[in-house]
Amino acid sequence: MNQSAERPHTCPSTPQPLVKARRITKRWPGVVALDGVDFNIYAGKVNAIVGENGAGKSTLMNIISGTYSEYEGDVLLDDVKVCFRNTSEAARCGISMIHQELNLVPHLSIAENIYLGREPVNRLGLIDYRKMHADAALILNRFKFTEDTHKLVSELRVGQQQIVEIAKALAFDIKVLIMDEPTSSLSENETQILFEQIEELTSKGVGIVYITHKMDELRRLANFVTVLRDGKFIGEYKADGVSTDEIIRLMVGRDRKDLFVKRKHPKGEKALELINFSMRDTENKNRYKVKDVNLHVAAGEVLGIYGLMGAGRSELFEAIFGVHKQLCSGQIRVSGKNITIKSPKDAIKNGIALIPEDRKNDGLVLGMDIGCNISLASIKHVLKFGFLHYPSEEAVAESFREKLSIKSHSCRQIVGNLSGGNQQKVVLSKWLLTNPKVLLLDEPTRGIDINAKNEIYKLIDELAARSLAVVVVSSELPEIMAISDRIITICNGCITGEFTSDQFTEEAILKASLPCHQS
């Protein structure tokens, strides 16, 4: 493709768009998030938006779906200019968005969330709860989601919340559905069901916008690909006319960076050991979320934990980190010494750091700036005579901002205003600063763009080279095979297999993680 970065590419002979966004510019203090961007949504087609973290993908979609009403440029629906003041107005015109960072109300039930603001009413004008719960269950059934619809959203895991968010969009007649990284916490099965739902929607003429960092999803779903880079529109391409390498080159404006190659490091003593470690289920004390786990990880080693969604991976991490002390039994050893962990504070004191999967709830204070968030868990690094020393905090934050390329105008930018992927990098920085002996990483590259993923793999490798013991949970098999020295598979809370690097094959690891494999 002969393509100059200055002249955006547009597809020849395309159908008439249902939605046209023209010359959209969005400014935030200190940042131009979008700079004269054009975008099309076509009836019955999937237009995938790609771009590095902070490229402006979510901002553009938040404008089209009515979340942001102040911007320059025009949005046209069926050739008529629209200016939505909020998401309800957009929804009334048939435009619905599934957000990247979930937008649910935690203390409302599943059904109440799905129908929030659009509750079905009976003849007397009162909310028809029975119908609301029955209808909600019907939509959720399509995803084989069997939780009681009266359950509070706060009691659901991230993946389940994601399905509720999707159900919320599917509950109404829509012309346009915008999905911002919808599969980032879905299981393989749930993802397949979502793809079938998307195919059904397009066959009914619904226009889909699909934001993703996953190239295989783009290949499977997209009819068109729109590339954004640094807030600029680079081009719109027919999906079957552009290769994956070309897309990546257009995204980053240069050739793909070298792929990550793991180095071999000498292993030290056992940094973390679990002996007959178990955790009971919160709801049913006779059941186990983690059962009789025996494992170790040495200093300088990267241990991968692979299991399907719901296998007990996140629960294992939370148990080690002291989140559910009263439910746990068995022994934890750090550097050969038996320790008792009653709370996360004890875990941090003993050199264990956990980077959680759900960064919005567990990892960040969204109203605080990058510097404060990074120093939050290791305040002693930035104190002078007992007071917070801003220059030290700033120096530390700046070094991480550079190392992990956190896209922001300064380390005083509020974290809630960063793009999703850049928020994840702040969580990583925060825990790396605690100088842990053992680092527990739960899905560390969720929502991270292709280039930054490589940076994080290199960082994990570097940490291992500096004798840190790293345990990584990931649902991406190629990723976990690339970064681990050894992989353990878990299923229903039990260890079902162990592989050294010379035994890594996708087939063997996947097989060991499936429920039918267990005796």
Ligand X SMILES: Nc1ncnc2c1ncn2[C@@H]1O[C@H](COP(=O)(O)OP(=O)(O)OP(=O)(O)O)[C@@H](O)[C@H]1O
Helices of type H across 36-100: 57-64, 87-92
Beta bridge partners of 367: none
Q: What angle do CA 431, 432, 436 make, to 5 degrees?
A: 85
Q: Which of 46, 50, 51, 190 binds ligand X (CB under 6 A)?
A: 51
DSSP structural state of residue 292 = E
- At 240, the amino acid letter reads D
Strands 270-280 and 288-298, sheet pairing: antiparallel
- State which of residues 55, 170, 272, 460 lies at the interface with ligand X (CB under 6 A): 55
List the x/- string, 258-297, binding to Mg ion by CB under 5 A: ----------------------------------------
Nearest Cα to Cα of residue 248 among 55, 94, 119? 55
Name the minimum Å distance from CB 367 to ligand X: 12
State which residue has the least CB distance to Mg ion.
58
Please state, in angstroms and rounded to a whole number, the distance separating the CA atoms of residues 435 and 442: 18
| Shortest distance in whole angstroms from residue 274 CB to ligand X | 34
Residue 53 as a binder of ligand X (CB under 6 A): the answer is yes
- 8 Å CB contact between 348 and 323: no
**Contact letters for ligand X, residues 410-449 (x by CB under 6 A):** -------xxxxxx--------------------------x
Residues 75-114 that bind ligand X (CB under 6 A): 100
Judged by CB under 6 A, the stretch of 16-24, 54-62, 140-148, 459-467 that binds ligand X is 54-62
Q: β-strands 494-500, 486-491: how paired?
A: antiparallel
Residue 185 binds to ligand X (criterion: CB under 6 A) = no
- Of 315 and 369, which has the nearer Cβ to ligand X? 369
The answer to whether the CB of 1 falls within 8 A of the CB of 242 is yes
Q: By C-beta, is 235 or 421 nearer to ligand X?
A: 421
State in angstroms the smallest separation of the CB of 335 from Mg ion. 40
182: contact with ligand X by CB under 6 A: no
C-alpha pair distances (Å), 493 with each of 287, 296, 313, 317, 318: 10, 16, 7, 11, 13
Decide: is 33 part of the binding site for ligand X (CB under 6 A).
yes
For 44, the token pair is: 């019955």
The minimum distance between CB 483 and ligand X, in angstroms, equals 21
Cβ neighbours around 292 below 10 Å, total:
15
Segment interacting with ligand X, rule: CB under 6 A, options 1-9, 26-34, 144-152, 398-406: 26-34
Q: Which stretch binds ligand X (CB under 6 A): 49-57, 320-328, 463-471, 490-498?
A: 49-57
Calpha distance 517→497 (Å, rounded): 10
Q: Which is nearer to ligand X, 54 or 312 (CB)?
A: 54
Please tell me whether residue 140 binds ligand X under the rule CB under 6 A: no
Residue 58 is a binding residue for Mg ion (CB under 5 A): yes
Residue 454 CB, shortest distance to ligand X, in Å, is 15
> Could you tell me which residues come within 8 angstroms of residue 121 by beta carbon, excluding any fewer than 6 positions away?
127, 128
* Interface with ligand X (CB under 6 A): 28, 31, 33, 51, 53-59, 100, 407-408, 417-422, 449
